[in-house]
Structure 1
Amino acid sequence: MNSTRSLDLRGFLNEKYALYNQPGFIENDPICIPHAYSLKQDIEITAFWAAILAWGQRITIINKCKTLFEMMDNQPYDFILNHQENDLKPFLNFKHRTFNDIDTLYFITYLKSFYQKHDSLEQAFLYGIKDGDATIENGLIEFHNQFFSLEEAPSRTRKHIATPARKSACKRINMFLRWMVRQDDQGVDFGIWKGIKPSQLVCPCDVHVERVGRRLGLIKRKQVDWQTALELTENLKQFDPFDPVKYDFALFGLGVEEK
């Protein structure tokens, strides 16, 4: 990319980032779900689940998440740690797309097991990250491995937690990490995790981001996989090496609002 075009594109993306990274973005996006909570663990749990369920129409995703957490009396952390067997019955009827009751109950089982030993879900992603890692790739691989390390882990649930080891673009997990890690002053992303650097994040590569990314010459790879997400992120680092994933707002906003 020549320097003049690079400067022009940087200015354009910064302008769109400023336009879309606003509190008004929150209400129509799944990120509104964790924004309804103040306790760190409640934010983590609801953000993780909202990101994993984020496929289909955004209004449907938001409504499904609200239904799910109402079953937990809107106190998910307390519910995860202290529920009784009988409290799980309502979840037998929970379903969103291919995410069903088996998946829901295993998520509850995993989260209970994890939070009994740890204070923050961030630790689950830090296990695999090594000193000097430029991205969170190893963290995602190890997270997937330990998420399914419990004896009762159902094989069908594996499809809902992506991993670079399967060459997945991991768009939902990358979106969740953006929410938790990115620090900015606009009040959209939370920035409550401090052990992962914003520069290590990888851009969520959904259909809107991919389409706009290709149009702007930020993606050349034909398929959409982990390498595509890395390619996009590396190109965005030209414009901001410390916080490349902030441009997710610009690309997604362009894709959705200006289609």
Structure 2
Amino acid sequence: MSENELKDFLDSKVLQYNTIDFVEPDPISVPHRYSLKEDVEIAGFLASTIAWGNRKMITKNGHRMMDLLGNSPYDFVMSHDEYQLERLEGFVHRTFNSEDFKYFIKALNHIYTNHGGLENIFNIYQTEDSLQLAIHEFNKIFFEIPHRERTKKHVADPSKGSVAKRINMCLRWFVRNDNTGVDLGIWKNISPSKLSCPLDVHSGNVARKLGLLDRKQNDGKALAELDTSLRFLDPIDPVKYDFALFGLGIFEGF
């Protein structure tokens, strides 16, 4: 199909899938539980961190994380003690376990106490056209305090060739305001034009079939190529097409 036909096709799929019905079965429903900005941020970051595997199980375990934090994630992060951390014992989602969970709480406390919070880090390190450097700097800050080596695998670093799928998805949630009640749009100082598509097996395969991506492996170079293609289609809101690629891959077996 022509470029105009491809854009019209994908725009129609965005309209089909970027609707309020998307929220409940998706991990984005976890931050949707909250109205306090910091609660939304922490809930979204934690839910996106475990976003690999079965979508239903991801969503279930994301809500379980919030229950373990007493449904007040920011308050728990800022005021917890070692005794309260013990309530996280037994949590596991694939390779993310309770020790990782405990460290994430401590690291988030460090970020809100010493670095002005999650949004401030991404504001400071955003570049003219991307948030990939900011993700790299966030990774460094997140592991400034003593940590186990095993936990580092749960926070991606684009400088090492990672597509950082889960963090890019989280950033989509926080930055993009879609006016349909799905993405949260709580960060106002970062342009949606700088967002990168949360590239995974499904979105990558659909993108290749549509001619949006040539590179065979899903790595940082593939992400940059896909970003270029999507920004050509819509330079203002390129990651809206994540809904189209996701829907075509998961719901339509495209």
- With the length of structure 2 as denominator, give the TM-score of the two structures: 0.96
Letter in 2 for 1:138: L
Say yes or no: does 1:252 pair with 2:217: no
Contact 2:213 2:222 (C-alpha < 8 Å) held by counterparts: yes
Secondary structure of 2:125's aligned partner: coil
Identity rate, percent? 46
Which 5+ residue runs of structure 2 have no aligned equivalent?
Answer: none
Say yes or no: does 1:243 pair with 2:231: no
Alpha-carbon deviation of 1:251?
Answer: 0.6
Letter in 1 for 2:133: N
Distance across 2 between alignment mates of 1:149 and 1:12: 45
Alpha-carbon deviation of 1:118?
Answer: 5.2
Q: Which residue of 1 aligns with 2:19?
A: 22
Alpha-carbon deviation of 1:126?
Answer: 2.5
Deviation string, structure 1 residues 128-155 (Cα, Å, up to 9, x no partner): 224xx211111111111111111x1221
Contact 1:127 1:142 (C-alpha < 8 Å) held by counterparts: no
Q: How does 1:69-218 map to 2 (within 5 A)?
A: 69-117=66-114, 120-130=117-127, 133-150=128-145, 152-218=146-212
Contact 1:128 1:141 (C-alpha < 8 Å) held by counterparts: no
Secondary structure of 1:208's aligned partner: helix
Which 5+ residue runs of structure 1 have no aligned equivalent?
Answer: none
Q: Which residue of 1 aligns with 2:226?
A: 232
Contact 1:183 1:190 (C-alpha < 8 Å) held by counterparts: yes
Runs of 4+ in 1 over 6 A off after TM superposition: none
Alpha-carbon deviation of 1:214?
Answer: 0.6
Secondary structure of 2:70's aligned partner: coil
Contact 2:163 2:220 (C-alpha < 8 Å) held by counterparts: yes
Number of residue-to-residue matches in the alignment: 253
Distance across 2 between alignment mates of 1:223 and 1:85: 42
Deviation string, structure 1 residues 108-127 (Cα, Å, up to 9, x no partner): 00111122245541112233
Secondary structure of 1:211's aligned partner: helix
- With the length of structure 1 as denominator, give the TM-score of the two structures: 0.94
Q: Which residue of 1 aligns with 2:8?
A: 11
Aligned-residue CA RMSD in angstroms? 1.2
Letter in 2 for 1:189: D
Distance across 1 between alignment mates of 2:87 and 2:157: 30
Secondary structure of 1:234's aligned partner: helix
Distance across 2 between alignment mates of 1:140 and 1:80: 21
